[in-house]
Structure 1
Amino acid sequence: MSAKSFDLIVIGAGPGGYVAAIRGAQLGLNVAVVEREHVGGICLNWGCIPTKALLRSSEVFHLMHRAKEFGLKAEGVDFDFEAVVTRSRDVAKQLAGGVGHLLKKNKVTVIMGEATLPAKGKVAVKTEKGSEELTAKSIVVATGARARELPGLEADGDLVWTYKHALQPPRMPKKLLVIGSGAIGIEFASFYNTLGADTTVVEVMDRVLPVEDAEISAFAKKQFTKQGMKIMEKAMVKQLDRGKGKVTAHVETGGKVEKLEFDSVISAVGIVGNVEGLGLEELGVKIDRSHVITDEFCRTGVDGLFAIGDIAGAPWLAHKASHEGVMVAELIAGKNKVHPIKPESIAGCTYCHPQVASVGFTEAKAKEKGYEIKVGRFPFIGNGKAIALGEPEGMIKTVFDAKTGELLGAHMVGAEVTELIQGYVVGRQLETTEEDLMETVFPHPTLSEMMHESVLDAYGKALHF
């Protein structure tokens, strides 16, 4: 066994790990990254990216059916399901290859294998060729998370799927049940429903997209229902009876159990951190409900050992992991000004149809925290660009501190809101007040003008509604 020495070893090459490795290398550190499966992690290979590729296909398909509205002719519109899935896999492959190239360009040593932490400052890697031991002053654990499996609802890849199966499905579902209406569940529901699957979504909480502002959830639900989705809230799938080519789901709502039949089920009931088998607890790392406890700088309390991304807890978002990766690399390289993440300043985006995006506190959360608030709203129907695009369904909502004018939260539903949200994210980062936003000139005609109008509305100054 040969001992190889590095300044920094990163375990996991997802959006947290590979970014930490690249930033470390840029700052002059000798870096190795250990990855057991896919460079690029779940996000690039089985998450954010391939799902967006699928959703783009369904969006184009949806628009083709609306051709007449735009004065166009498209007859006999259909899809090739296999080709849709192949495109999604090709997009993922292209980007994963790009990450491999970036690591190489930055002279990061990539070791494919399974890592364990036998002692402080040591990483043992089991590769196809055997095992090797590496040493480093600093180690970053970025092993991510996997789908949570509930007893009795476990995936089998045929009738019951996780997100991985749903990305490479054995068939196009006719009758689909989606368990869980967070971002993952609702994106798959949106994709399959648009392509013609008879889709039912079961959510245990009192509303779909439960982390979003209640008004946005209600608006989105109305749109989903209009598109033919069945939404069951305050409902629970108690058991799944699997038969030949069908599943009978026992769904409990309000104390009553209903038996419903489907040919495919997607389970999207949350995630579990990949904390097992690394030797973390033996080193003295504290783990709570499958997540590593860290301070704001991602330090685990064990000297030289950091944890970033999904394994370090909510919000479970790729961009949060990447930011932590940069922060930790800079900390290790001895940079003075390092900015820890503020969870309430991280935007969440859901790419269903219509899109949903938000940052900061919901109206309810702001009130709960004791703020006196001013709330503004603006509908897509009042925006020239939205009407020209044929996308008049949507709204933008802003929440301000009535005393200071601080933007506490922004919530959107409608076309392209996943791109628009960043305007408010920058505003919050720069500690913008309502006055700054009101005095900003927004270009016309754009969807972004609604962001201006929503702010104006909070203060009784909206012009176009």
Structure 2
Amino acid sequence: MSKKIDVVVIGGGPGGTPAAMHMASKGKKVLLVEKAGKLGGACLFVGCIPSKIIKHAADEYDALRNKPAGDRPFSEDAGVFWKEIRARMDSILSMRSAGALQRLTQIPQAMMIAGSAKFTSNHEIEIEGMNGERSVYGFDHAIIATGSIPVVPPFKGDAVQDVLTTELLFKQETLPPSVVIIGGGPIGVELAQMLTKLTVKCTIIEMLETILPGVVEPEFAEELAKKLAASGIDVFTSAKVLEVNRSGGNFTTTFIDGAGGQRTVRSEKVLAAAGRMPNLKDLHLEATDIRFDRQGIAVDDYLQPGVSGIYAVGDVIHGPKFAHTATYEAYIAAVNILMGQNVQKADLSKNSWVLFSDPEIASAGYTTADALKNNHDILTGSYDYKIDATAQINRSPFGYLKFVVDKKSLAIVGIHIFAPGASSIAGEAALIVAKNMTLQDVAQTIHPHPTLTEAFGFLAMNMLMGK
């Protein structure tokens, strides 16, 4: 017999969890269904949080390792350090997940079931709990927030089933001495740099012409590729993987390089970093009128997929796949449900993100290419951080700040930063773009000195004066 609930939220990650809390705190009776039985999603357990824990530790290890032997406060090798990293990672992830669950369960109108949900119609789901118990719920509204799963390309060879994903990499008990990373996008680049700092020999194989293809400004990708090579990372672009095989205790990855020659690289591990795909598995969307395809659920500006009362957010839909974007979309969906009608639209043209490379890259709004595709007549301008006081003080006088500006209105439609500490000023970049600020607005904002943020004012002034 079907039970009745106001709102069903499927998925307990950075989209589903805050949406459930927000609606329940406002009086809606909310059921959150999470297959893993713990809150946090891919970002917390296999994505942004564990990778940043590793990055922070790798940066520390690399800095200490490069001190004179007598000044090093430790003698452990990277393998011992890796065990400490994993222990710290497990502690932080458990603490954050438990904290989220505690906050959810303290809201009287919220309840959670550990299990998987599938649609039986447009307004009914069947839940199979982790204990095998089944239940059926009818609902007025639903938010689908099931996230994404790693993509493992269909390689040939006898070792394809042993290729790691990031999820499996973070669970490795020992640090491999060498890794071939298939994919030169954000995931591949971040992991290659942090593993290299932990003394792992890394090779990146990317099928397109450059690393970070279509992701960052081309000049940023070119400069970062030079830094990867300088750190000892072998990067092959315009390359096609043919086979992944076992050879003794190691892997052999055979590929065609950019010049058309066949190469083979031996490594202890192979990692697939070819991106992520929407997690539609087991939802049985075919039992509904929800619009979806292999790229995910297709939603309108209000985040609805064609069925009244149903919304979808985060990695499961077409569009940017970031934890913070999912949280933003969750807020939009929750507000529309609480208001009883669609009152807020999602505007993803103002999305922002950070690549935690070395140096970091942060972006908000349109890239130069995207602005042109969206029919903007644009101006661009750059500020070189080598003349920046803070960069010089921090002994990191490298990097660039770039504005993409609508020529007619002088509104800043895109900001891109490639510099150490870019993540620390990404928030201002996001705010400038989100609020449609112009060059005059930014030039007339008094930024503190010496800080990395004062570059925003300098660049705006320079562009207004035609420099």
TM > 0.5? yes
Which residue of structure 1 aligns with residue 231 of structure 2? 227
1:136 aligns with 2:139: yes
Take 1:246 and 1:336, find their aligned partners in 2: how far apart are those partners? 58
**Post-superposition offset of 1:454:** 2.8
CA distance in 1, matches of 2:342, 2:300: 17
Q: Find the counterpart in structure 1 of residue 62 from structure 2.
A: 62
Equivalent residues of 1:274, 1:290 under 8 A apart: no
Q: Which secondary structure state, in structure 1, belongs to the residue aligned with residue 391 of structure 2?
A: helix
After TM superposition, the structure 1 stretch with the greater mean CA deviation from structure 2, 451-460 or 17-26, is: 451-460
AA in 1 matched with 2:105: K
Report the secondary structure of 1:117's partner residue. strand
Q: Which amino acid aligns with 2:91?
A: D
Q: Which residue of 2 aligns with 1:424?
A: 429
Q: Within 2, Cα distance between the matches of 1:370 and 1:300?
A: 27
Secondary structure of residue in 1 paired with 2:349: helix
SS in structure 2 of the partner of residue 269 of structure 1: coil
Match of 1:172 in 2: 175
1:412 to partner: Cα distance: 1.2
Counterpart-to-counterpart distance in 1, 2:166 and 2:159: 12
Question: 9-18 or 336-345: which moved more?
Answer: 336-345
Counterparts of 1:249 and 1:215, CA distance in 2: 30
Q: Which moved more, 1:253-262 or 1:367-376?
A: 367-376
Q: Distance in 2 between matches of 1:190 and 1:102?
A: 36
Note closer, same or farther for the CA distance 1:444–1:461 as it changes in structure 2 (3 Å cut): farther
How do 1:49-448 residues align onto structure 2 when only pairs under 5 Å count? 49-65=49-65, 67=67, 73-74=71-72, 78=76, 79=78, 80-107=81-108, 108-127=110-129, 128-152=131-155, 160-210=163-213, 211-253=215-257, 254-334=259-339, 338-448=343-453
Q: 1:417 to 1:201 in 2, by over 3 A?
A: same
1:175 and 1:104 mapped to 2: Cα distance?
44
Structure 1 pair 154–248 and aligned structure 2 pair: CA distance change class (3 A): closer
1 CA distance for matches of 2:296 and 2:290?
Answer: 10
Partner of 2:11: 12
CA RMSD of aligned residues (A): 2.2
Distance in 1, Cα, partners of 2:230 & 2:49:
27
- In terms of mean alpha carbon deviation, does 367-376 or 265-274 score higher? 367-376
Instruction: Say whether 1:48 aligns with 2:48.
Output: yes
In structure 2, relative to structure 1, the CA distance for the partners of 1:336 and 1:67 (3 Å cut) is farther
Q: Tell me by how many angstroms 1:459 deviates.
A: 3.7
Q: 1:75 to 1:110 in 2, by over 3 A?
A: closer
Structure 2 alignment gaps of length 5 or more: none
The CA distance in 2 between the partners of 1:446 and 1:98, in whole Å, is 34
- Aligned twin of 2:24: 25
Deviation at 1:219, TM superposition (A): 1.8
Deviation at 1:450, TM superposition (A): 2.0
1:383-415 deviations in Å (ceiling 9; x for gaps):
121222222222211111222111121111122
Once the 2 structures are TM-superposed, how far is the Cα of residue 90 of structure 1 from its aligned partner?
Answer: 1.6
Q: Is the 8 A contact 1:155 1:267 kept in 2?
A: no
Closer, same or farther: CA 324–426 of 1 in aligned 2, 3 Å? same
Q: Does structure 1 retain, via aligned residues, the 8 Å contact 2:413–2:436? A: no
Q: Distance in 1 between matches of 2:295 and 2:369?
A: 29
User: Aligned equivalents of 1:449 and 1:35: distance in 2?
Assistant: 44
Q: 1:158 to 1:55 in 2, by over 3 A?
A: farther
Asked whether the 8 Å contact 1:174–1:263 carries over to 2, the reply is: yes
The Cα offsets for residues 95-150 of structure 1, whole Å up to 9 and x where unpaired, read as 11111112112231010011111123212111105111122111111111100121
Distance across 2 between alignment mates of 1:147 and 1:305: 26
Matched-pair contact (CA < 8 Å) for 2:150–2:165: yes
Give the Å deviation of 1:451: 2.4
TM superposition shift of 1:154: 9.5
Deviation at 1:443, TM superposition (A): 0.6
Structure 1 unaligned segments of length 5 or more: list them: none
Alpha-carbon distance, 1:302 to partner: 1.8
**Structure-2 separation of matches of 1:153 and 1:312:** 30
Amino acid at match of 1:73: D
Q: Could you tell me how far apart the structure 2 residues matched to 1:224 and 1:125 are?
A: 47
Give the 3-state SS of the residue equivalent to 1:344 in structure 2.
helix
Secondary structure in 1 matching 2:405:
strand
Give the C-alpha shift of residue 77 in structure 1.
5.5
Give the letter aligned to residue 83 of structure 2: E
* Secondary structure at 1:58 match in 2: helix
How far apart, in 1, do the equivalents of 2:333 and 2:313 lie? 8
Q: Give the 3-state SS of the residue equivalent to 1:325 in structure 2.
A: helix
The question of whether the paired residues in 2 share the 8 Å contact of 1:153 and 1:267 is answered with no
Structure 1 stretch 99-108 or stretch 447-456: which is displaced more?
447-456
Tell me if the contact between 1:65 and 1:77 (Cα under 8 Å) persists in the aligned partners.
Answer: no
Counterpart-to-counterpart distance in 2, 1:280 and 1:226: 48
**With structure 1 as the length reference, what TM-score do the two structures score?**
0.93
CA contact under 8 A between 1:159 and 1:246: conserved in structure 2?
Answer: no
Total equivalences in the alignment: 458
Q: 1:130 to 1:361 in 2, by over 3 A?
A: same
Going from structure 1 to structure 2, the CA distance change for 1:75 and 1:331 (only over 3 Å counts) comes to: closer
Q: Output the CA distance in 1 between the equivalents of 2:85 and 2:156.
A: 28
Kept in 1: contact 2:31–2:113 (CA 8 A): yes
Deviates more, 1:56-65 or 1:261-270: 56-65
Letter in 1 for 2:125: V
Percent identical residues: 24
SS of alignment partner, residue 161 of structure 1: coil
